[in-house]
Structure 1
Amino acid sequence: MKIAVVAADGRVAKKVIAEALNRGHEVTAFGRHDVNETPTKMYIKKDILNLTREDLQGFDAVVDAFGTWTPETLNNHSKTLKHLADILSGTNVRLLVVGGAGSLYVDPEHTTQLVDTPDFPEAFKPLATAQGKSLAELRLRTDVKWTYISPAADFQADGERTGHYILAGEEFKLNSKNESVISYADYAIAMVDEIENGNHIQKRISVVRA
């Protein structure tokens, strides 16, 4: 498959690229850095908001690995996701989004999100709120073949690659050890599995370490 990874300079993006390459997929990275620091040899320096419909033609899937944390840039989660959705609108190119855990529901009625619970860390609320807003906006799009993948609450950059994960849905899930944790490497496995299988079009899914 031909896969594009945008905002490819980040650590999650690099894990996804490496996983896809290891499975024999053709991966093109789009990033902002002058020097290619990603695992793929096909690197194009281009800001996510400058990408065009033509840039993403011919790909089977586009992975949106955009992330930002500063207060003045949090709205870019919505802005960049809308831009990608707009330029992929009406095409067969699938859009897979590296999401957040804060918007997962903690009740079967789907009335309370993790970010709204008393123990949710105050420092992460602005980011979780911004990511939740961008997901809510994405849900309104019926013109794009999107999939939003939320990691576990403890998303570990340097965690081990176990090769196993539990696939869940909209609700916050703990594993058998009552943990909500997953490594970037295992998340990348789930992401590439979804790229290959395409089982959750226009749905949000989540993953946790098995």
Structure 2
Amino acid sequence: MLNLIRLSISCADNKYNLLSGLVEAKHEIFGKQEILTDKRLKKERSVIVARQHGTTDSDYYKIKIISRQKEARVALTDAEQRDFTSVHCEQKLLQLQMNPRFQRFRKQEYVAVTEQDGTTRWEHVPFNGGDARYPLSRIVDGVFQWMNQTFHGVGLKYAQHYMDEGCFRLNYAAGKSGEAFHRLLQCTFETLPVGLSNRVNTMSGASLKLAS
């Protein structure tokens, strides 16, 4: 049942929820290894985390695994960026800002401060909350942490479905639980074959009766 729900979320996200308006995207790594060896580096996978904003009241997030032959820590090529845009973004995209490098921390910023005696010194500008990570890096870290803590690690075979579920939870976190459940049923009916949709409908109806 849960696998069917995750499958429906992934299908609906790919088919109906294309990014539009202003989109920020960044190269990140799934399965990032702390000890770097040739064998361990092969376990890493490139992902693109993207945020749509400015078109609705709330932001919309996607995290998608990128299929490539290169090591995950190598910067995304122009062709790989175009492939992501063509699959996951509307054609009438207003603006896309893509960071193709795996770069988790922002550079420190400094401003010039003039003292009363006329001398100038450089003063460090702290990041909001003291977190030097990029905002999108914080988002993807949160989803990956949820996956690890909830499911105690996820293999590559089903990783994309769990990422889509994590983004679904994130996208509807600000709304009411009823709205998220309604959208979940929509995803199921829109994407699954008729037989499976009827099966999910029957099971969800039974769940509602038990809850009442």
TM-score surpassing 0.5?
Answer: no
Q: TM-score, normalised by structure 2?
A: 0.25
Q: Larger relative contact order (C-alpha < 8 A, sep ≥ 6)? A: 2
**Bigger radius of gyration:** 2
Q: TM-score, normalised by structure 1?
A: 0.25
